[in-house]
Structure 1
Amino acid sequence: MAKAVFCDIRDTLGIVDYKGHLVLYRPTSVDLLKSLKAMGLRVGLITNLPSDVSTQAGLQMVKDAGIDGFIDPDGFVTNHDANADKPDPAIYRFAAAKMGLLTEDCIFIGENLSEVVGAQAAGMGAVLKPFPPGREFLQKPLAAGQISDTSSGRLSEVLLEEDHLIAKRIVLSAVKLKEKLDALGPSDEVRTLLRPMGLIVWLTNNFVDTYHHRKEEEVLFPFAMMCGVDPADLAGTLVDHDQGRAYFRAMGAAYRRVCMGNRAATVEFAALLGAFANLYKTHGKYEDDILFKKIGDRLSDQDDALMADLIGRIGPPDITLYINLIAMLEKELGL
Structure 2
Amino acid sequence: MKSNPVQVKAVLFDFDDTLMYVADGRRRAREAVATAVASLHGVSAEEALAMLEYIEGRMEARRSFDRRAWFLDLLDRLGLREERRGEVLGLVKMYWDSWIRYSKPFPDAEQVIKSLRPSHRLGIVANTDGIPGFKMSRMESSGLLHYFDVVVVAGDDTEETKPDTAPFLLAAQLLGVEVENCMYVGDRASDVLGAVAAGMNAVLVGGEDFISLPHIRIETLLELIDELTPASPGPSTTREPRR
With normalisation by structure 2, the TM-score equals: 0.49
Give 1 or 2: higher strand fraction.
Answer: 2
Q: Whose relative contact order is higher, 1 or 2, with alpha carbons under 8 Å and at least 6 apart?
A: 2
With normalisation by structure 1, the TM-score equals: 0.37
Give 1 or 2: higher helix fraction.
Answer: 1
